[in-house]
Amino acid sequence: MHNDTARHRQTLRLSAMLLMLGLFHGLPWLRWNGMPLLLFNIDARQLHFFGLQLRPEGMLPLLWLALAAAAVLCLVTSVGGRLWCGYACPQTVLTRLHRGLQRLFAFKDAPRWLAATMRHAAWALVAAWTGITFVGYFVPIRELVGGLYPFTLSGWETFWIGFYALATWANVLYLHEQVCTYLCPYSRVQPLLTDAFTPTLHYDARRGEPRGPRAPGNGSVMQRARGLLDPMTARDYVFRASHPTSAGARATFKDTHLGDCTDCGDCVHACPIGLDIRNGPTTSCIECNACIDACDASMQRNAFPEGLILRTSSARINQLPRTGMRTKPLLFAALSLLFLTLAAAGLASA
């Protein structure tokens, strides 16, 4: 069962990565009636957009379209959590691609310097092509690529290709998820977009606490008379485990009284930024599901049910009743519809 669910999540991540990379690198090459499908022509002060040629004074529909996209993102966040961060964000996609290249060039029998050189060379090529593609949204990409050999690019084209290639190379190589934690504003506004019924990553402390290593063979708490803890007791155990300085040394329990968390630390090691999801949800978590995969594998090794770390809402974890309509999803859905209507009306009259 674990292999199937983990493979399903991996397939979703891979599909989202390929889709986003395909859209980014493919759009500049597409044409509509002999013109680029999407091109910001700064010299002519004109935007080519799906067959339309818009000048600055006629770009109001694009503002509505951008606001609609922002409203849809808010709606998706409110209903499904940080799916954008975990699957489709360019930072996530490029970081995942870089780690895939690392695994691809992790040769066991080759010298370390050779494997490292090949990894860096491969990532440098990806970064360079990313820079070329980005500039291709402002200069017709066929002309841009044609100017690479013989080298006939202008100074500004060369500068911006180099700038974005270097930014891509260094950003993912040295910053990776730190951009999400410290620079991206999305995590800061997330609490304003969600409510108690928005799914996020949670550790089921009622089942997992008190945590600790134990001899195999006792079975899960779901199979023992102990059962689940009440929410207040579970939170108390979590606080004691995450604040040893103020809470003091943890008590020692018999194996039969322990929860399903074996305190193996696999969830922390799997997290790309080293978060411990057992301490509670945090805005730094991009919900990449790596901790779920690691914990499910640990549960399988111990013959415990999966789902000790899972995607669910805080309302469900705390057994809160559902109360009426959810205001935020309704608001974001209404704004999405309004902005899309305004954008469609503006583009139809352009």
User: Would you call 315 helix, strand, or coil by DSSP?
Assistant: helix
Is the domain of 76 the same as that of 125? yes
Is residue 188, in this structure, part of any structural domain at all?
Answer: yes
DSSP β-bridge partners for residue 53: 48
> What whole-number distance in Å separates Cα of residue 293 and Cα of residue 145?
41
Is residue 61, in this structure, part of any structural domain at all?
Answer: yes
Residue 110 φ then ψ, to 5°: -85, 150
Is the domain of 223 the same as that of 138? no
Is the domain of 186 the same as that of 223? no
Asked if 81 and 187 count as a contact pair (C-beta separation under 8 A), the reply is no
Is the domain of 293 the same as that of 247? yes
- Among the candidates 139, 165, 193, a domain finishes at 193
Residue 2 pLDDT exceeds 70: no
Is residue 342, in this structure, part of any structural domain at all?
Answer: no
What is the token pair recorded at 194? Answer: 């969600």
Reported as a pLDDT band with limits 50, 70 and 90, residue 205 is very high
The tally of domains found in the chain comes to 2
Please tell me the predicted confidence (pLDDT) of residue 3: 67
> What whole-number distance in Å separates Cα of residue 82 and Cα of residue 109?
40
Reported as type and span, the H/E element at residue 49 is strand 46-49
List, for residues 224-251, the tens digit of each pLDDT value. 888 899 888 999 999 998 888 887 777 7
Asked if 41 and 113 count as a contact pair (C-beta separation under 8 A), the reply is no
Is the domain of 97 the same as that of 233? no
Reported as a pLDDT band with limits 50, 70 and 90, residue 69 is very high
Is the domain of 120 the same as that of 220? no
Helix axes 112-135, 90-104, angle to 10 degrees: 150
- Among the candidates 162, 193, 224, a domain finishes at 193
What is the token pair recorded at 210? Answer: 């008190």
Reported as a pLDDT band with limits 50, 70 and 90, residue 329 is very high
Is residue 345, in this structure, part of any structural domain at all?
Answer: no
Radius of gyration of the chain (CA): 25
More confident of the two residues 261 and 177: 261
Distance of CA 228 to the CA centre of its chain: 31
Provide mean pLDDT across the span 306-319: 90
Is the domain of 292 the same as that of 228? yes
Asked if 231 and 319 count as a contact pair (C-beta separation under 8 A), the reply is yes
Reported as a pLDDT band with limits 50, 70 and 90, residue 284 is confident
Is the domain of 258 the same as that of 300? yes
Is residue 332, in this structure, part of any structural domain at all?
Answer: no
> What whole-number distance in Å separates Cα of residue 280 and Cα of residue 156?
48
Q: Which amino acid, one-letter code, is at 350?
A: A
Is residue 139, in this structure, part of any structural domain at all?
Answer: yes
Provide mean pLDDT across the span 103-129: 88
Bond into 191 cis (ω within 30): no
Is residue 158, in this structure, part of any structural domain at all?
Answer: yes
For 336, residues 6+ apart whose C-beta sits below 8 A from its C-beta are 68, 71, 72, 75
Is residue 334, in this structure, part of any structural domain at all?
Answer: no
Distance of CA 15 to the CA centre of its chain: 13
Alpha helices in 136-265 (DSSP H): 141-146, 155-170, 178, 186-193, 205-208, 231-242, 244-247
More confident of the two residues 5 and 341: 341
Q: Which amino acid, one-letter code, is at 341?
A: T
**Residue 28: how many CB atoms within 10 A of its CB?**
24
> What whole-number distance in Å separates Cα of residue 272 and Cα of residue 96?
11
For 173, the domain range is 2-193
Q: What is the DSSP string of 284-298?
A: T-----HHHHHHHHH
Is the domain of 148 the same as that of 224? no
Is the domain of 301 the same as that of 214? yes
Is the domain of 188 the same as that of 299? no
Is the domain of 216 the same as that of 272? yes
> What whole-number distance in Å separates Cα of residue 40 and Cα of residue 135?
10
Residue 317 pLDDT exceeds 90: no
Bond into 185 cis (ω within 30): no
- Among the candidates 158, 193, 228, a domain finishes at 193
Please tell me the predicted confidence (pLDDT) of residue 143: 92
